[in-house]
A and B are shown apart, each in its own frame.
Chain A
């Protein structure tokens, strides 16, 4: 399974765009990249998933370069409620490996 590397923590002011980058140098051909959000004492929540180029939904955008060895989660205009841990996952169809995640702190 591909191992992922993310920054341990990030701070951002409210209203700013936040970009969290994840490295996954050993990603396999059939692996997708999935991002989750976790609030304290809750289970992770699926945010977005992609295979290549760009994916956008109502919550975030995911940018994946052609070599797929990294990906960037983009959160537009964050609010205090976006303070959470964000996990980048890469894996096959049965199981994935959670990394350490990035703790995002949104500052008023």
Chain B
């Protein structure tokens, strides 16, 4: 069966520090991968999605970036964190398909607090 792992579960970082969040998927090949951010009490905001290694689409201009160095690995990074980067970060995967909207499967998320 397919599983998705995100780490760390919680993270406290000072303003201006770098960030690296990692997400890996097991049990499937060539998945679509997604990074979302959820502010407290708000909906999910799509940040990045990827349909293949090295292929990243950005949905929201910001100081975050994403990379996909391997088929089932998705990394969210920042060189300098801002206070506004605080939130709940979720990674998700879906089957790469063209005929229908494939359901997304989410990880347990990373709670990021910027001090």
Minimum CB distance partner of B9 in chain A? A41
Shortest A62–chain B CB gap in Å is 13
Interface string of A79-108 (1 = CB under 8 A from B): 000000001000111111111110000000
Question: Is A93 within 8 A of B100, CB to CB?
Answer: yes
Size range of the chain B interface in the assembly: 20 to 34
Check A46/B36 contact, CB under 8 A, given A87-B44, A93-B97, A100-B43. Answer: no
**Is B32 within 8 A of A94, CB to CB?**
yes
In the A-B complex, the 8 residue pairs with the closest CB atoms: A43-B106, A32-B101, A98-B44, A46-B103, A100-B43, A43-B90, A95-B49, A98-B43
Contact B102 A93 (CB under 8 A): yes
Complex Cα–Cα for A43 and B45 (A) = 13
Q: A97 contacts B88, CB within 8 Å?
A: no
A97 contacts B109, C-beta separation under 8 Å: no
Q: Report the Cα distance A43→B59, complex, angstroms.
A: 20
Does B80 sit at the interface, judged by CB under 8 A?
A: no
Known: A93-B99, A93-B100, A94-B49. A46 touches B105 (CB 8 A): yes
CB of B99 within 8 A of CB of A41, answer no
* Interface size in chain A (residues, C-beta < 8 A): 25
A-B contact pairs, 21 of them (CB 8 A): A32-B100, A34-B101, A34-B103, A41-B109, A41-B111, A42-B108, A42-B109, A43-B92, A43-B106, A91-B101, A92-B101, A93-B98, A93-B101, A94-B51, A95-B49, A95-B57, A98-B43, A98-B44, A98-B45, A99-B43, A100-B43
Interface residue B107 (Cβ < 8 Å from any Cβ of A)? yes
**Interface flag for A49 (CB, 8 Å):** yes
Q: Hey, which chain B residues are within 8 Å of A31, CB to CB? A: 101
- Residue ID in chain B nearest A97 by CB atoms: B46
Q: How far is the CA of A91 from the CA of B105 in the complex (A)?
A: 15
By the criterion CB–CB under 8 Å, are A49 and B103 in contact?
A: yes
0/1 interface trace, chain A 25-59, chain B, CB 8 Å (1 if under): 00000111010100001111110010100000000
